[in-house]
Structure 1
């Protein structure tokens, strides 16, 4: 490969691959319809990124990699194919990228970004210099991807568009599996079958780690190939790896004692909030334990882990109002995130601003969304962020109308949300913006407003 061009380079998946290739010395270019923060970071590192899609952008490319959101009639896709340039998706390219690497792949409906980030950080802290691709910027490492000098490669194994089927891991972690991405997997059976196929690709002599707290996830252990060791980890059910005496700690996180088959391995003290992150840390720890790494050193590195972007990311506090940005967009994620907020801030009023992500998910999980906000005092729901889907005759107001939460309201636009917040927020409040779309701009506008005493109008943002 002399030059690789990425269509949709500003997304989490492609930006990470682009960074790894660039660090390996490959000539990289890209394009996107908007310059996301990740795209801007690539530009700052010397990678040319074109704003908008045009046929001339692929000139000189030997290979084109496109985002799953890029359609077949994209002008760069058409131009590449007309010139005989191969056009691949992530799943098609990953076998080339991961060839000759010992891959540690983290999959799951929830928790895979944080668990992969933890694992990349622990291996780095222990001196292994792994390559990694994570779906968010890891705060301890300052980026979402890296080409390391060792043969370890930590990768977040995304199930959307069956991307993770391009991976043959040495160790696979499945954090938590329940139905998601109904636009790609119409039924839970189709979703589970994809995970079973992923588990079936683990290399001989490797390992599978599954969360035992959800039976459907635990049952994936039976899909592991022969000569693959299967282990379970759990907080609330019997498992190979367990946490004893889990409890909140003074840092706002959770602590507990790690047990393996009943024997104490280490004490774990996290600074990031939420009991669900204790489970994520246990998965990362169990992976390093299987690999023979020092338990005490791994636990110390997990204590030092400070999180990643848009995962309970505390952005600041102004006039007594704390603003937190979070990527939660599935009912289970919303419940876990709000429970973490309630545990960390038990005496403060919690606001949840939720931007539903895709019509298909909002429809498929309608009833679960209606019940997901019990730990919030006030709830604002915006209109659906369509993302890759076409506009539909469906409104998130229908979800609000079925909520039993007495403090839930529907405000269709982000401008109306910020206007309402400016009027209603009070000192001591915690504002949590839950969005996989563009509602994170609300965080910036609220902070700017209370810093300067006037509303801030941001530029329109779009994402693949």
Structure 2
């Protein structure tokens, strides 16, 4: 691959390279910033609001400014201006800082253009899929590091003991391969994981077929002598596998089905919130998989991590021990606290399948307790295109509250409202309460000791749980 000057400097780990990130506090860019800082490069960035990730990056040497303004670049001395500006997918063409960079002649790029140079010379392990990417990536990193492979990594959430990004010293580099804005098509992995292929991001992929084609293209980017680890339980994955050429990467199928190369049988809940299953590797018993995190979906995530770890030379016993110690990551069935006998959990689930999986895991964990689901729909396009499927995803909850839609990168054009989701849902105890503060006030009046409140969504709906705990404690 031919690189331009800044890409060449990045691939050569040139410590004089200056990288500025617009949206540095987001999940994707903050992890990249952590890797760049580990490499000793000069990192600066801006974001709209302060946060814990920004503070941590600043403590590690990044120059952070709050607010995205042209002056963040134009008022810098010429010698201190960045060599390249990396932007998140949420930064549109009218962003003043982006426009200033373009006017100054500074290259402005997205992740799919930036990552090939960042990962040049590494053995890339890319974890893709509609659901489960973050957990599977974190589990894979933990399995490799337990086996003595000090891999680099980029994870879409904070993980205890790992953070969300590091350069690492081993050739292996594990990256959460985000399909949004076609980011993952900039990767050329040696090992690829596909957890599932279920249509999402209708603003980027207008049809299920276009979404599926992107994953086929992703598999085409895998090294011909490489490996693809794929969940054969998933229909979308099986359809992608059908496009696999006869000569190309080797495939390992994992799942709960009888034909999987790496399989789990007899999944059962453990005391506490964990789960275990009997492990089968190439149709031979291989002991037990034990997890401290709940849900059948996490059994599948762990199988993918096991397959990658063993393929990289980690012993099965070592990988199983690493997964046994995995404690989860931020916003993935994250226990937030308990007050007044009410347990509060937060989860990033915002797609119907993710909502179902999270609530089913909660029901297995708390079979005799009343479960409240507080759902903040994420983006108007997703809510509109998946309205009825979304409305059917709350069955495992006893009570459901739907808040106003979190717009993220979109503008409300009036085409859909959260009330329509409530109307489309067959759930017998679902209601709309728009503002987060009003949701908290309602819960304070209606929750009882023993209840479990789960906040769901990829926006700022997690604040409901935090505010609820404060109110109940007081």
**TM-score normalised by the chain length of structure 2:** 0.93
Q: How far apart, in 1, do the equivalents of 2:427 and 2:134 lie?
A: 30
Aligned residue for 2:450? Answer: 428
Unpaired runs of at least 5, structure 2: 1-8, 10-16
Contact 2:296 2:361 in 1 (8 A): yes
Q: How far apart, in 2, do the equivalents of 1:408 and 1:315 lie?
A: 23
Q: How far apart, in 1, do the equivalents of 2:317 and 2:426 lie?
A: 46
Q: 1:91 to 1:82 in 2, by over 3 A?
A: same
Once the two structures are superposed, residues 252-299 of structure 1 have per-residue CA deviations (whole angstroms, 9 ceiling, x without a partner) of 221112212211234210010111100100111011122232001100
Q: How far apart, in 1, do the equivalents of 2:87 and 2:277 lie?
A: 43
**Secondary structure of the corresponding residue to residue 332 of structure 1:** helix
Q: Which moved more, 1:438-447 or 1:151-160?
A: 438-447
Counterpart of 1:404 (choices 426, 436, 446) is 426
Contact 1:117 1:134 in 2 (8 A): yes
Q: Which moved more, 1:150-159 or 1:50-59?
A: 50-59
Aligned residue for 1:273? Answer: 294
Contact 2:143 2:314 in 1 (8 A): no
Contact 2:37 2:61 in 1 (8 A): no
**Residue 357 of structure 2 corresponds to residue 357 of structure 1:** no
Deviation at 1:118, TM superposition (A): 0.5
Q: How far apart, in 2, do the equivalents of 1:237 and 1:413 lie?
A: 47
Aligned residue for 1:310? Answer: 331
Contact 1:212 1:237 in 2 (8 A): no
Q: How far apart, in 2, do the equivalents of 1:258 and 1:57 lie?
A: 54
**Residue 452 of structure 2 corresponds to residue 437 of structure 1:** no
Deviation at 1:105, TM superposition (A): 0.5
Counterpart of 1:9 (choices 21, 24, 40) is 24
Contact 1:140 1:305 in 2 (8 A): no
Matches within 5 A, 1:258-297: 258-297=279-318
Count of aligned residue pairs for this structure pair: 451
Q: How far apart, in 2, do the equivalents of 1:448 and 1:163 lie?
A: 39
**Residue 192 of structure 2 corresponds to residue 195 of structure 1:** no
**Secondary structure of the corresponding residue to residue 441 of structure 1:** helix
Q: How far apart, in 1, do the equivalents of 2:145 and 2:159 lie?
A: 12
Deviation at 1:200, TM superposition (A): 0.5
Q: How far apart, in 2, do the equivalents of 1:162 and 1:5 lie?
A: 22
Counterpart of 2:388 (choices 355, 367, 370) is 367
Aligned residue for 2:346? Answer: 325
Q: How far apart, in 2, do the equivalents of 1:37 and 1:349 lie?
A: 32
Q: How far apart, in 2, do the equivalents of 1:169 and 1:447 lie?
A: 43
Aligned residue for 1:413? Answer: 435
Aligned residue for 2:4? Answer: none
Unpaired runs of at least 5, structure 1: 453-464
Contact 1:213 1:237 in 2 (8 A): no
Q: How far apart, in 2, do the equivalents of 1:374 and 1:350 lie?
A: 11
Aligned residue for 2:471? Answer: 449
Q: How far apart, in 1, do the equivalents of 2:346 and 2:235 lie?
A: 31
**Secondary structure of the corresponding residue to residue 426 of structure 2:** coil
Q: How far apart, in 2, do the equivalents of 1:251 and 1:424 lie?
A: 26
Deviation at 1:224, TM superposition (A): 4.0
Deviation at 1:237, TM superposition (A): 4.7
**TM-score normalised by the chain length of structure 1:** 0.95
Q: How far apart, in 2, do the equivalents of 1:66 and 1:237 lie?
A: 44
**Secondary structure of the corresponding residue to residue 404 of structure 1:** coil
Q: How far apart, in 1, do the equivalents of 2:143 and 2:310 lie?
A: 11
